[in-house]
Amino acid sequence: MVLFCIEMIIVTGAVGFIGSCLIKKLNEFGIGSIVAVDDFSNPEKNKNLVNKTIYKQVERFEFIENPGAFGKPDFIFHIGARTDTTEFDTALLQKLNTNYTIQLWKYAAEHNIPFIYASSAATYGLGDNSFDDDPKFLPTLKPLNPYGQSKHDFDLWAIKQTKTPPFWAGLKFFNVFGPNEYHKGRMASVVMHGTSQIRENNSIKLFRSHHKDYQDGEQVRDFIYVKDVLDVLIYLYNSRPESGIYNLGTGKARSWNDLAKAIFGSLNKTVNIQYTDIPADIRDKYQYFTEAKMQKLVQTGYNRAFTTLEDAVADYINNYLLTLSYY
């Protein structure tokens, strides 16, 4: 794949999970003129930038005060956000997720800069509209938590704008997992936590089902490997199809039991799953099914197959988690 000749790229969320992987992917294509924007106060998180080529590091609030102070970028990847689904400080989420993105959008629109931002599948809530990224469904969505609402608020704002970047895409990330999430603590993927549990106790804990239509561990999610996310980001960066909001999952839901079995298989361990009750305070907000409708992205010409769950888990565990390596 040949990338456009780009002089400078902004990546927000640069030391985060997806943002740092994106910088590595851009470096692989020979792009090092990257302004990395983030909160750099966490030494553990900063390890994600080791051995990556960037032009400049800029604190996120310093950057948004005057984005043009660091040179005019040719493309903006806005991946940074407050992503904690248990965060209930709505003012903080509005500031970091909704308002920050509005400011960056306006800058991109004013200066004619292509703009990709991270939305979230959390905007779908229980998925009453079948996780369809058709914008006609946006006003009907009901996120289950303040994080999802903060992302949804921006999506609603974006589709109403008449002054836009020359190309823009909002990506509703589904359950992304992969390397560079060591810093995420409780918000890290079940692959990471499950690998630790199995290595320590030869067992893994999953939530029991409290829904009559689902057996324990048969709740399903659309799990997508971060390397597949990167491929889509590079595709959009290159092809710039019709602007809009796009789902980013695999389009194929898999159960938590499937995920657990893939982890055990990658570790050459006997399957031993223990089920625990979903905490009562989140039980009514628990999603039993998520699956991205991916036709919209495919119709733009994207035809690359997504990595199977088993292959993705094996790559993540064997090439990163077992050696504590970074992408």
Q: Which residues are catalytically annotated?
A: 147, 184
Structure letter (DSSP) for residue 289: B
83: CB partners within 8 A, 6+ apart: 16, 120, 147, 187
Angle between helices 226-239 and 17-28 (to 10 degrees): 60
Q: Whose structure tokens read 């400078």?
A: 8
Element (H, E) at 257: helix 256-266
- Yes or no: say if 276 and 217 are a contact pair by the CB < 8 Å rule: no
One-letter amino acid of 239: S
Q: Widest CA span of the chain, in angstroms?
A: 57
- Yes or no: say if 279 and 189 are a contact pair by the CB < 8 Å rule: no
Structure letter (DSSP) for residue 321: G
Q: Report the distance separating Cα 235 and Cα 241, nearest Å.
A: 9
Q: Alpha-carbon torsion 264, 196, 20, 255, what sign?
A: positive
Q: Report the distance separating Cα 136 and Cα 294, nearest Å.
A: 16
> At 141, phi and psi to the nearest 5?
-70, 145
Q: Report the distance separating Cα 147 and Cα 149, nearest Å.
A: 5
- Yes or no: say if 264 and 195 are a contact pair by the CB < 8 Å rule: no
95: CB partners within 8 A, 6+ apart: none
Q: How far is CA 166 from CA 35, 240, 325, in A?
A: 20, 9, 38
- Yes or no: say if 227 and 181 are a contact pair by the CB < 8 Å rule: no
